Amino acid sequence: MLILGGCCGGFYSTQAAEPITQAQPPLPSVSLTITDQKGQKHPFTVELAKTPHEQEVGEMFRKQIPANQGMLFIWPVAQNTAMWMKNTYVSLDMVFIDDQNRIHAIEERTTPLSEGIISSHGPVRAVLELPAGTTETLGIVVGDRVTSLALSGSVE
């Protein structure tokens, strides 16, 4: 995936770097909860992609993402973000989170291995990647609240 300045299954990056040829090891994980508009809480354990390299590699080359797990990308400030699915073998739901920790946009069931750009449709502070179909199955929609110590800045 990419962030305008981001990558795929990570963010899309325009920077020249070493080619990415394999999945990264599991990253440190944090708890994250999405509270839907009915007040129901949906808990997840997500890997936290913090460094530019971790964000660029993202979910590339992984063969599966377990249910109730995913990856969270956080930017220092809200920005227009673009992602892609280059070298990402599994379909994802990409959840774009604004600076108020509300879901700003959702791209469901992304196309594996696509280099098409997936836009946040406005400034966002974070992107949450979940297994494809998660948002539909759980009824997660734009406007739902996302909470995590990682979003509050309490996780280093």
CA–CA gap between residue 152 and residue 30 (Å, rounded): 12
CATH assignment, 10-14+27-151: 2.60.120.1140
pLDDT tens-digit readout, 55-114:
999 999 999 999 999 999 999 999 999 999 999 999 999 999 999 999 999 999 999 999
What predicted TM-score, i.e. pTM, was given to this entire model? 0.88
Distances (CA, A) of 149 to 30, 31, 33, 72: 8, 8, 10, 12
Q: Domain residue spans in the chain?
A: 10-14+27-151
pLDDT tens-digit readout, 44-61:
999 999 999 999 999 999
Who wins on pLDDT, 3 or 21? 21
Tokens of 12: 């899309």
Signed CA dihedral, 44, 94, 29, 146: sign only: negative
Per-residue pLDDT at 13 exceeds 80:
no
